[in-house]
Chain A
């Protein structure tokens, strides 16, 4: 009996679970989070908590602004700029949780909220940034900045804050403001139309094939095409239409359908047909033609830049970037262009040799590229992806990236289990510094799932600031790696491992950041700079020394063999002439569109793109990565005069990593410390170029990138 009582007592004792400390009757966003490290109390937040919190957050935010404006004291940095930093805490609290979960662990209700909230939020921020009284205070501080005795960081914050108002039109007169609003709404309409046309054009073409047309295609490609045909049959409305797809195979200009076909099909005539359907999208002189829209947008953008006081749209955009003027961008692109084009020509020659040896009597054309480059790849760069995966279990790669940052900066990671995450696959680590002090919380959410957006990204649930005491961030990486099957570990491709290091580089930017003002923390810098911390970390995963330290076979425990590493690194140089040429051509095209003066933009010729490409000497075998009529990045996305950013960041990361190579130690302590102090800690507290020069001792050069990509002549 005693035993029984003892046993039942034991059960009771251990089954008591820790209860949330929040009051369940009050919206969790309106309460202080007493969770460890203020991790959001995910389990207490319900779908219906968001909207009231957003509304109250916006109200509070506006009330706080009102207090700043109503302050009868003369405007000072402390009572205006610094106070602005303190506003909107509730809004940011709910917005961070919401926007993260709406992407990484969404549900129909959150999706609906997102649509509802988007116009509300943009109207809210307009109210602040278009507030004249507020701007007048900022402007007064700006005008007296010389005598205000501000620190460097404060000066940068003042400048950035003011610029936000100015770029929204604060210095314009009323009629100009009205013009800008009109232009903005026209641009936004045109960009929507551009996107819709593009979608229609991409969906509007299909290559319907018979069984006899499938020469060269692998089983997987054939079955995908057959599946596409049967889907079309299901959607067909009439019997005739159904008949059209019966027992047929469908390919479309969507890349996932087109690339496998171009690679495998031995039917040159069909490759040409499908390829042309792709490059002619939006350029078919029909009702979904995008030529006119692109020209109109270029004109409107030039007009807007003029009103704002800039010569061209590119000048207006670049002012915010690391490269400040169109000349700097052109200079970079042209420098890279020559070696890339040279390599591309060599690749054409390689492919022509293969075609000749097969006894083919034709000159390699654009639609032959995938098919023949695949033959070259198999011959020179063959790499069996499946042979690498067993060495790259997710846990190994995570350990690899942890070890890397441990060796660089002495960071330590401890997985914690007593905090609820938003999903059991979203793992939580505490990051501590080399002296053991708390640095950040890192959440790693790596597996793909049906309620997660595709792709990979970094974000944060809490920012960093030292304004009112030391506040450390909560940073998250979200990826879409294959979830493990059964009890086996998740095995990554090398590309996945690179992505993991990349996102972790962003995370480091968010974790190591140590600035006073939250709005300048972490990844707040310009677009052509913020990919540096991420792309830089990628270099370590390709270092044999690093790779060997973590890439062990998940079954045998054997370290990845040297020969495999060698193949892996060599494969990275395959087809780089093509990849760089098509990319640079598109970047230059983007710049050409957006460096038009208003005069020139009014008379855009039909041959604009052709002339632009002829100017740089693009070869017929390659089209720009995006032709104007389907260049969604710049005509329906946010990348106008910004498509060059990818390669700019690549120049920076290759050049920065070269410093470690020069030192002869990829973990050189002095360089690591300088990298942390000058780049990863600084957020946007200084001009990006200054930060870089502080680390590297000089401006970036392109040679290291050429070497990494095999464009330095070594691959010829």
Chain B
């Protein structure tokens, strides 16, 4: 059973891209296909798609807009944000103590909310090509710590907080690429964030339930800690190298 789970995770992590650029986050307001080769036409087309999404959104009711952004935030974790999933799983495997886990997750959430807001409001600007490799490194680091450090250090929440800042920038680059209508900017930003939190929570919940199903007892989670972390770390490293090429 354990082996199957490993194999499965291994398979998924190496075949899927962390963010498939073709896959669009906000699917309700998406139409049309990109089927040009010419670069200029493609760039014009995606700029037009963004304008179209913003128009569509502006025409929607408030509740519909909120729903779409919550959903977009959620989908940004599940199924599209495999990198974020792995990071959260990295946190999950780091400790047995619920308190420590909650502390880390809260630090992560707090941090990525800050940078997501700052970047979406235009105060911070960073290229995805810079942010993405760093996010992958953060995964590697968390896994590294899980594998080689006996106990989680007291600095861990701070480290996680710093990484959270990075992940927030990652969320933001995608969000701004898709466009936020000016009139409901703040509330939709919040909605997106709420969606992200839901996604994160769902990952943790699923991990928790799976562990319970396999081992019956939470304590056995430790047996899984090192192999899972190695796997997570290798995947992150693979993505990191891939993103540099």
Interface residues of A (CB under 8 A from B): 1, 3-4, 7, 11, 14-15, 17, 43, 107, 415, 417, 420-421, 423-425, 427, 447, 449-451, 483-484, 487
Contact = CB atoms under 8 A, between A and B. Distances in A.
B33 A450 contact: no
Nearest to B27: A15
Nearest to A395: B55
Given A14-B71, A450-B38, A4 B52 contact: no
A7 B78 CA distance: 10
5 contacts: A4-B206, A17-B27, A43-B31, A417-B29, A425-B52
Contacts of B206: 4
Given A15-B27, A424-B51, A4 B202 contact: yes
Nearest to B212: A1
Contacts of A451: 38, 41
Interface in B7-64: 27-29, 31-33, 36, 38, 40-41, 44-45, 47-49, 51-52, 55-56, 59
B205 interface: yes
B153 to A, nearest CB: 32
A423 B52 CA distance: 10
Given A14-B71, A451-B41, A43 B33 contact: yes
A1 B31 contact: no
B58 to A, nearest CB: 9
Would you list the 9 A-B pairs with minimal beta carbon distance, nearest first?
Answer: A424-B52, A425-B48, A424-B48, A449-B44, A424-B49, A417-B56, A450-B40, A424-B32, A420-B31
Contacts of B36: 107
B233 to A, nearest CB: 26
Given A423-B45, A487-B182, 5 more contacts: A423-B32, A425-B51, A427-B52, A484-B51, A487-B179
Contacts of A14: 28, 71
B32 A420 contact: yes
A1 B56 CA distance: 35
Contacts of A417: 29, 31, 55-56, 59
A424 to B, nearest CB: 4
A107 B52 CA distance: 22
A3 B205 contact: yes
B136 to A, nearest CB: 25
Contacts of A4: 202, 205-206, 209
A483 B44 contact: yes
Nearest to B176: A487
Contacts, number: 64
Contacts of B33: 43
Contacts of A484: 51
A415 B182 CA distance: 19
B209 A427 contact: no
Given A424-B52, A449-B41, A7 B202 contact: yes
B132 interface: no
Interface of B: 27-29, 31-33, 36, 38, 40-41, 44-45, 47-49, 51-52, 55-56, 59, 71, 74-75, 78, 179, 182, 198, 202, 205-206, 209
A11 B209 CA distance: 20
A126 to B, nearest CB: 36
Contacts of B47: 483
B48 A423 contact: yes
A53 B50 CA distance: 33
B41 A450 contact: yes
Nearest to B180: A487
B59 A415 contact: yes
B75 A415 contact: no
Contacts of B59: 415, 417
A246 B41 CA distance: 34
Given A415-B55, A427-B55, A450 B44 contact: yes
B31 A424 contact: yes
A3 B202 CA distance: 9
A447 B48 contact: yes
A516 to B, nearest CB: 36
Contacts of A17: 27
Nearest to B199: A7
A106 B48 CA distance: 16
Nearest to A427: B55
A423 B41 CA distance: 11
A423 B38 CA distance: 15
Nearest to B79: A11
B172 to A, nearest CB: 14
A487 B54 CA distance: 10
A450 B32 CA distance: 18
Contact of A11 (B48, B56, B75): B75
A227 B36 CA distance: 30
Contacts of B202: 3-4, 7
Nearest to B68: A14
A463 to B, nearest CB: 26
Contacts of A43: 31-33
Nearest to B209: A1
B200 to A, nearest CB: 12
A110 to B, nearest CB: 13
